[in-house]
Structures are given as C-alpha cells and as structure tokens.
A and B are shown apart, each in its own frame.
Chain A
C-alpha cells in the first residue's frame, strides 16, 4: 500500500541499521570472581553514567507502519466421495490460496509451514495447532467442499486464531453447478469476503475481470480474462484492428477503437446483449475512449476538426462536445474515477507528449510531467494517484526506457515501479487501488507484448498472459 508521507510517497521499506560499539566481553571469562564482581559494578556504573556509549546493540527495521495480518489457508476437506470432488477441490484450494496471496494485504503462511490437517468444520478446528510456530497464523481459513446431489457445495470459515473464546469471523456457504469454473468462482467469492472483512472495508478484486487486446496474426481482437489470468476468451470477432478496450462502470458495455472503412472509429459492444451496439461515427481518427464514473459519458480523442482533440459525448456518440482547443495532439483521456469532474490526458502541445490534468469543462489545465515522453495515464480509484508510462530520458541514444510510474496528483511527486524489464506501457489500476496491470515486452518487439500485474508499490510482479496480450483494462468492480 502506498502512503504519502509528508508529501513524499513512502514505500515503507526503510532499512536502517544502527550499530554501536560495545565493550569486549572476553575479559570477563578469565578473571577471578572478585575481580569479575568489581568489573561488573564498574560496568554498571559506566552504564548508568554514560548510557549512550557503553551499549552493545543494533536495530533493524523493515517497516515504519503496522505489519500485515498473517493468514493461513487450510486445504478444504472433501465432504463427499464423489469422483468429481477431488479435481474441484484441487482447483478451489489453489485459487483460494493464490487469491489471498495476491491480495497485497496479507502475510500468507506458506503451505509447507502450515499444519497438515484439513479441518472441515469448526468442531474439527484446533486453534493451538495454527497459532503455534511455524505457522504462527493470526487468521485461518478452512472448510469443506464436495459434490452433493449434483451440486458443488462449499462451507467456508474464517477463524481468528488469537481469540480462543469467540474465534469465528466469517462463515459462508456456497452452492453452484459442479464445474471447474464454478469451483474457481466460489474460491474467488470466499476470498473476496475475507479480503473485505480484513482489508478495512475495501472489496477484494478476485471477481474482477481484465479486458485486453489479443494480437492474432494481422488482427487485434478484444479478449476477457479473470484477474488472475485464468479463463481467457474472446469477446469480439471483427476481423480488424481493435484497440484500447474500456469497460463501462457497470460492466455492461465495452468501448474501443476499431479500424473500419472510415478509419479508426469508437465502437461499443454490449456484454449483456452479446453484440455490437450503435455509436455514432464521425470523420477523422477516433481513439482511446474513457468512461465517466457515472457511466453516462465517454471521453475520447478525435481528429474530426483536423487536430486530435479531447471530445466528450454520451454513450451513443451523440451530443459530442470539444474540450481542448490547443494546437498539437491531445489523446488518452481518463476521468478521475472518484469525482468524475477531472480528466487526465496526454498532450503534445509543447513538443513531446506530456501528462496534463484539467476539469471536464476544459478549464484549469495543469501540466504534471516536466519532461520525457509520457503516455497512457490511468487514475487511481481514490483519485489520489495517476499511473502512466513514461520515458524520462527520451531521445536518440538516451539511456533508460519506457517504464511505469505513479504520481501523486496533489504534490506531483512520483515513484518508478518497473525497472530494466523492457518497454512497459498501458498501466491500469485495479478497483481496490492496490494493484496495477500493464503490458510489457522484454525484447521490445510489439508482438511479444504480455500482460503483467503487480502491487501498486511495484512488488509482486507476475505475468498473466503469454505473448500477444496488450492494452489491459481492469474492470471497475
């Protein structure tokens, strides 16, 4: 979790080691008792008179704030002898563990340290076993899962190990059609419940989706996947180049930019109807749509007047109005998801593209970056930060590459999240504000782009897709 400290962005990994010179201890071992006694008294006297010098201690520190909750996940107990139970239980256990490990708010007990038992009910739970080292858990999630009467039934519990009198925090029951996918969905839902309870009121993201561009031959189509990279499947099959998918705040529509006979146009696809829905076409190149948090407006970049400018229309493309009027390209708008009253975008009015913010009526333009080459902003859900791709040393022969940065809007202070991993682009915040997904190509080739995810402080990076995934967009919920 990122917390600004005195205006700076503190990653809470301060490492300081104090070490002070102490007195030699070997003298004491070879002296007679009387001499040892007098020496001890002398040592005490020195200690009491000069406290600062005669101490032998050092201190390490890894965190300035509170530590994370240590949570353990027991393998669920098979509650029936149905042959389907075993593979479903394997999927469930793996998914639940990875969901909690990826949540970013827990210190998870490794499976190799956790007790081997798998309690299925509160009566079978032995709290002592889980609170003792090496598990040393503060919380433990456990339960049972099985196929009963043609349904996949799961009972999940979350116990506070430290509270032996009233350990139960959460008890949930799920019943779904038996399938691999529903085993995974149950695990996601149970994990989200745990994260919501223990994460201080912020819902988990285990049930969210990521929409992205899949590069297949010469075409680019929109695909969808779960937040952990599972369940990848196609949404559109337009047979053309389709870019920058953006999901609406209610998860019902997808807006993107698609190459047709009139050039690049904004188009929308209804996930409820399963087909394209109308969006009024205009001239020029229309790129990078962005949903307003109320779901009633779409901002995008349009060159219908000759120069790429930011326009806002309703979700059918009607009532389009122009927001920016400067010479030079204006692209990649994104609304402040918290207020909906501000837009961050990329403008090339002073030469190289830079990050700017303004109010939705086009007033109050503020430049955020002081140089380099900035692209593809994404505003954090609490409105406090903007993440974007930035090449700070841009130019022929300049060192450095394009990396993901996070900037605090109020202070314009930034931190770099990716380092030396090849070109990174298209960061997108998760709805809990704790994760960022982005596209990365290690060797710089565009068709080797892969989608990655990381915590918003730049840790826990991992790839979600193979090569050919680009422009990820995290759903709003």
Chain B
C-alpha cells in the first residue's frame, strides 16, 4: 500500500512538473538561444535548382513504366516467302553527296556522380558577383547560351558591376532591397531596351542601376559570340557593409 502510494506520488510529481513545454519558447530567458546568423551571412541570391536533376528537382520523378513481356506469335505459313527462280533486281540507290566535315565540337564530359543540391556542379546561366555594397547577379533567358558562353555572361556581369556606383543609392532607403533590370544585348554587344523588371521600392537604387547600364551604353560588352540578341535579367542587391 505504501509502495503503491509512493509510486503514485512519483508519477503525479513527474506529470505536474513536466507539463509545461519550456523548449523553444519565445522568451529569451527560457533557456533557448536566439541566434540570427543567417541574416548576417552574405548569402548570394537563391540559385535556381536544376530541373532535370533527380535529387535537386522539386517534382517527384515518375517511375519508369514497365511493359509486360509479350511473346511473338509464330508466323503464319502464308507469310513465308516462296523462293522464286528470277532473283530480284538490286535496288539502285542514289550516291550520297559528300558532306563537308562538321566543325568538331568538344565532347562534353558526362558527370559520373549524381548531382545534388549542395554541389557546385550545377552550371546555370547565372553569374553572381560580390561587391563592396551588395551583390550583382544576372541571368540569361537563353539557357543554352549561358552554358555555352559562360565567359561572355561573366564579362557582362563584370562590366555592369564595375559601373554600378553604390554611392548613388541612398543607403538607408535601399538597405536590403533588390532591383531587377532587364535589357537586350544586340549582335554588336550594345545594350538596348533597358527597362526595370522589378522595382526595389527605393527610387535612388533604381536610378543607380539604370545609370550603370547607361555607362556601358557606348562601349557595350563586345560582339555576341553567337546569335542575334540575348535578353539579360540583371539584379542589384544593395547591402551596406558595416
């Protein structure tokens, strides 16, 4: 009897004393620690994931359809050809025109490992550059262009970034804001059709981004390696460094 009461009181005490959930409470003094490290890390803008990658894609990949094995029905005796005495004439084929040897393209090296979201193995048509006061990143709409001519994408990014004077943006109003500029690059490498894709909410930041494009207007980026024009989406992230 005494033992039962003792055990019962131990259980009751345990229930009463552990009923409150102190973990993860909002109160700082509750024992949990608030750390805001992510905000202070200069993370680049989020990169698009590779859609084809099995591990990186958000969509579940469909299971391959397995077809049932079929057995071939035996041929009917009527379908068997009856040998004739006169042999059939050989079919004449027109001579193929000799094609000029195609320009030898470098054989792409196929990755042997599966691509996960954490590796640096994904090559996308985007280049990011860390600047003194913020980040400049660009995306080319034509993905194959960005793959094939990554160096050109880099040059465009570099040139615009070096002509973006972050001092022109109001530091207080622009802090943490992002403006996206869309423009075309014509065959001769000159930017045209410059327009604001997404306003930042800070007019001075928008103007500083447009001015960066104005400064490269005369010289351009050098002739396009391929194609008639490309469309570029260029994002300016303003982040004051303390």
Contact = CB atoms under 8 A, between A and B. Distances in A.
Q: Which of A1, A44, A168, A200 has the most CB of B within 10 A?
A: A200
Interface in B48-74: none
Chain B: number of interface residues, binned into ranges: 35 or more
B33 A160 contact: no
Nearest to B29: A45
B11 interface: no
Contacts of B129: 66
B151 A201 contact: no
A202 interface: yes
Interface stretch (B15-23, B81-89, B163-171): B163-171
B123 interface: yes
A165 interface: yes
Contacts of A47: 35
Interface stretch (A177-185, A191-199, A450-458, A460-468): A191-199
B222 A162 contact: no
Contact of B33 (A44, A164, A382): A44
B109 A165 contact: yes
B161 A166 contact: no
A382 B108 CA distance: 42
Contacts of B34: 48
B38 to A, nearest CB: 13
A139 B154 CA distance: 12
Contacts of B28: 49
A88 B168 CA distance: 51
Interface in A137-178: 139, 160, 162-169
A6 B168 contact: yes
Interface string B134-178: 000000000000011111001101110111010110000000000
A37 to B, nearest CB: 13
A121 to B, nearest CB: 11
A238 interface: no
Given A65-B131, A163-B150, A198 B155 contact: yes
A122 interface: yes
Nearest to A52: B242
B168 A165 contact: no
A5 B220 CA distance: 20
Contacts of A66: 129, 131, 157-158, 161-162
Contacts of A139: 151
A203 B170 CA distance: 36
Given A6-B165, A166-B108, A199 B222 contact: yes
Given A65-B162, A165-B123, A200 B155 contact: yes
Given A6-B167, A122-B106, A169 B151 contact: yes
Nearest to A338: B218
A378 B154 CA distance: 33
B219 interface: yes
B222 A197 contact: yes
Interface in A1-55: 1, 3, 5-6, 41, 44-45, 47-49, 51
A41 B167 CA distance: 40
A48 B35 contact: yes
Interface string A309-332: 000000000000000000000000
Contacts of A196: 222
A61 interface: yes
A420 to B, nearest CB: 30
A12 B149 CA distance: 29
A1 B161 CA distance: 14
Contacts of A169: 151, 225
A84 interface: no
Contacts of A59: 241
A111 B71 CA distance: 68
A201 B150 contact: no
A122 B109 CA distance: 14
A204 B149 CA distance: 21
B147 A165 contact: yes
Contact of B218 (A63, A64, A197, A382): A382
A201 B147 contact: no
Contacts of B165: 3, 5-6
Nearest to A61: B132
A164 B40 CA distance: 33
Interface string B200-242: 0000000000000000101111110100000000000000010
Contacts of B132: 61, 63-65
A160 B167 contact: no
Given A6-B168, A66-B129, A196-B222, A168 B33 contact: no
A200 B161 contact: no
B166 to A, nearest CB: 8
Contacts of B76: none
Contacts of B151: 139, 160, 163, 169, 197-198
A315 B163 CA distance: 39
Q: Which of A6, A166, A199 has the most CB of B within 10 A?
A: A166
A201 B148 contact: no
Contact of B150 (A49, A61, A160, A199): A160
27 contacts: A3-B163, A3-B165, A5-B165, A6-B165, A47-B35, A48-B35, A64-B131, A64-B132, A65-B132, A65-B162, A66-B157, A66-B162, A139-B151, A160-B150, A160-B151, A163-B151, A166-B108, A166-B148, A169-B151, A198-B151, A200-B159, A200-B220, A200-B221, A201-B223, A202-B219, A202-B222, A382-B218
Interface of B: 28, 33-36, 40, 106, 108-109, 123, 129, 131-132, 147-151, 154-155, 157-159, 161-163, 165, 167-168, 189, 216, 218-223, 225, 241
The 6 tightest CB contacts between A and B, nearest first, are A201-B222, A65-B162, A64-B132, A160-B151, A163-B150, A201-B220
Given A1-B162, A202-B222, 10 more contacts: A3-B163, A63-B132, A64-B132, A65-B132, A69-B158, A160-B150, A165-B109, A197-B151, A197-B222, A198-B155
